[in-house]
Structure 1
Amino acid sequence: AATDTVWDAVYSCWGAIWFTDPERLLPLIAPRLAPGGVLVFAHAEALEGYYGPQGIYAYGLRGPRRLEVRWAYTPDTWADLLKHHGFTDIDTRLEAPDPQNVRTLLVRARSVPGGY
């Protein structure tokens, strides 16, 4: 993180938070958030029983073989990871318009007042 820029909010919608090791990314985000700043992210729910880093093909079953890794955790595990990296006021939810559909994990957390 070669910047001194501080942000009021950082968000990831099916993006960086899902595809980057949180043990590497969260320590980079925390000091870049203003005191009380908010981190918000969303991605698909984890498959029950399959947690942590998971390899996937970037283009599904079509196109060239391009491996990507995503990190999938339960809402409670995400809350623990965020607490460990200095976040507070953590809210995690699994939402879907239809209970039969794949749910989206929605997470909001604040940086520690006074900085990380």
Structure 2
Amino acid sequence: MWRALKELPIEGSHFRRQAPIGPYIVDFFCPAKRLIIELDGGHHNEDDTASCDRERQLWLENEGYRVIRFWNSKITADLTAVVERIYVELYGSRDAEAIKLKHGRRK
């Protein structure tokens, strides 16, 4: 997944992996779009883990982040579809031209 994200045409910004946000560490984060990508394995189906995931996602969304989740099996089976979904989240459609993304750095 990391290699696929690094190949997206995102000028002026990038994804960070294992990025700290508040009390959490997210799998992948694009600061320019405040987009978080979470990868979930089978243990995320367990009640306790799923409950923690919901709580975490609500907190992140309340802070103004967008969170999209993918099952590990989806990434393995159809990485192209996953990357297309991420592109749409970044640019609005599959046909949109990649534009230079900027994010404001805190001083």
In the superposition, the TM-score normalised over structure 2's length comes to: 0.34
Give the number of the structure whose residues are more often helix, by fraction. 2
Give the number of the structure whose residues are more often strand, by fraction. 1
In the superposition, the TM-score normalised over structure 1's length comes to: 0.32
